Chain A
Amino acid sequence: MPQPLFTWLLIAPSLALFAVFNILPLLWLVGLSFFRYNLTFGPPPQFAGLKNYTDLMNDRFLWGRLGLTLLFVLLAVGIETVLGALLGYAFWKKRDLPGRRLALTLLFVPMVLAPVAVGTFFKIIYDPMYGVLPYYAARLLRIKPPDLLGSGNLAFPAVLAVDVWMWTPFLIMMTVAALGAVPKALLESAEVDRLTAWQRMRYVVWPHAKFVLMLGVVLRTIDAFKTFDLVSAMTAGGPGNQTQLVSLTIFREAFNDFAIGKASALSLLVLFIAVSLASIYLFVLNYGVLREGK
């Protein structure tokens, strides 16, 4: 078998899966986004040109939702990254932690739970009447048990907190893995060279750790952008619109309203934003690699 044929033969199954289950639906999505089409009423699909898109542009609430989603992503990923990096560093540093394997297993469990279950169960954990959390918070701080999900001001942070709880372990894991990528010999020689802690971080640890760490951040950003099950189960986007992330909006447009055309246009807009975000990240990553001359 000639080499090029073999090369592509190996890639073919992946591309085939990709084409059938991703490209095809996406093309379909693009097509639908130009149609005025509602499943449950109205005429059969009608070509509407860019109408769905102009509608989106004029939808003054949509931008609020996108803003909220970006805020959510920014805060969630930001907090998770900082916490994850710090704790990850601590766990990496302390490799002789007694029972480290068990400790890390316990630590990693939150991210393997089903978001539906987590969202639902946190409703009761947060409940001001039956919830453990408000109960102990009240006892500790000598306040009234806070109503976390039922308050316009607290619902967003409360949802954010659950996301942080679920996904900080992921970034801890990535940090531990990333730091593992730093050659030990380099670290030792840095010790001998008497570099300050900051210098050691900047010149020894970071160049090796950043790829994995950034990849963790990229993956988390992508996933945070898509957060759906968790919020849908916990607040259904409420109270009011306080946790109405854009993925909930898409789902609503598509599967409550069956506004297929509009939902498609919105999906593509969101996809475009997600791809741009990821591209920026990857660009930064690559740029970093180029600059370090690797």
Chain B
Amino acid sequence: MIGRRRIASALASLGLWAVCAAFFMPVFWIFLAAFKTRAQILTIPPIWVFHPSLEGLRFMVERQAGAFWQYLLNSVMISALAVTIAVFVAYLAAFSLSRFKPAATDFMMFLLLSIRMVPGAAVVLPLFMMYRSLGWIGSRWAIVLFYAMFSLPFSLWILKGFLDGVSRRFDEAAMVDGASRFHVMFRVVLPQVKPGVVAALIFNMIFVWNEFLFDFILGGERVATIPVALAAGLYTSQGTDWQYIASLTLVYTAPLMVAIFFVQRHLLLGMTFGTVRGEV
């Protein structure tokens, strides 16, 4: 009996790994292409084993006369700043909504969620008109703040979920002990909603890191991020540059992959919106 159960368990493991592999396969194929020559990418039957070439990666760095580094720096700076601002601002609001429950809390939560419902192509237009009249086109901060706004609702929802799960008794105990409001917010309560913070950071990071439309329309060369570089570099005079797409995808997906690997527990916990404490 035990033997049979063990076999069943092994089969289940195998099956689940197969599912993961299947989902990862296209990504793997793209990653593989980063180390292939152009001809190898297009070869049919597909090549799985080959001598890896670093040509694509080297070309990626050299191609835009070194602008690659600036794109990368822009991507890192803009997404890190935007997400940090968003989570910070959202935390303040979530704390207030969760703790003091001002009038119209539910309405505000829904209102903020509605940010997410606006089709990108819809707001980019008036936003563009607005930026134009304010002279914000191409401004770093204007882009960062926009992304921060866009990351707000999700952060707020996650954080409020978690904050609702943290008993007010903690706040009160600390307050009587003499803790200031900010001590309560950041030293007593914040550490307890860490999974929510991590989940909000990662999740919004994924969005901002990949966002193309707004940066392309509202930004300029100065604030161009990797996805914009990607879109701009899809075609070369040699045709579609599969190597470039693959290399760029590899290079800028890797950090997110690593992040997901290391904070997976927090991410999963975070996605429960605070309905669970403990293991997922």
Contacts and interface: CB of A to CB of B under 8 A. Distances in A.
Interface of A: 3-4, 6-8, 10-11, 13-15, 17-18, 20-22, 24-26, 28-29, 32, 87, 90-91, 94, 96-99, 101-117, 120-125, 129-132, 135-136, 165, 168-169, 173-174, 176-181, 208, 211-212, 215-216, 219, 222-223, 225-226, 228-229, 246-248, 250-251, 254-255, 260, 263-264, 266-268, 270-271, 274-275, 277-279, 282
A234 to B, nearest CB: 12
Interface of B: 9, 12-13, 15-17, 19-21, 23-24, 26-27, 29-30, 33, 41-46, 89-90, 92-93, 95-97, 100, 102, 108, 110-127, 129-130, 145-146, 148-150, 152, 154, 156-157, 181, 206, 209-210, 212-213, 217, 226-227, 230-231, 234, 240, 242, 245-246, 248-249, 252-253, 256-257, 260-261, 264, 267-273, 275-276, 278-280
Contact of A215 (B24, B92, B152, B273): B273
A286 B23 CA distance: 34
Given A11-B97, A250-B122, A264-B125, A97 B114 contact: no
Contacts of B279: 180
B149 A17 contact: yes
A3 B175 CA distance: 14
List of 5 A-B pairs having minimum Cβ-Cβ separation, nearest first: A267-B122, A180-B280, A10-B96, A177-B271, A25-B126
Contact of B121 (A20, A121, A251): A251
Contacts of A97: 12-13, 16-17
A194 to B, nearest CB: 20
Contacts of A101: 261, 264
Contact of A267 (B23, B27, B121): B121
Contacts of A122: 26
Given A107-B20, A212-B275, A225-B117, A117 B230 contact: yes
B19 A105 contact: no
A28 B13 CA distance: 54
B149 A121 contact: no
Contacts of B242: 121, 124
Given A7-B102, A10-B93, A180-B280, A274 B117 contact: yes
27 contacts: A7-B96, A14-B89, A21-B127, A22-B118, A32-B126, A101-B264, A106-B27, A112-B256, A113-B30, A113-B253, A115-B210, A116-B227, A117-B30, A117-B227, A135-B44, A165-B26, A174-B271, A177-B280, A178-B272, A180-B279, A212-B272, A226-B119, A250-B122, A264-B125, A266-B122, A267-B119, A271-B122
A211 B275 contact: yes
A112 B16 contact: no
A225 B121 CA distance: 12
A22 B185 CA distance: 27
A181 B72 CA distance: 38
A104 B120 contact: no
Nearest to A22: B115
A287 to B, nearest CB: 14
A279 B113 CA distance: 10
Contact of B119 (A7, A94, A216, A274): A274
B23 A165 contact: yes
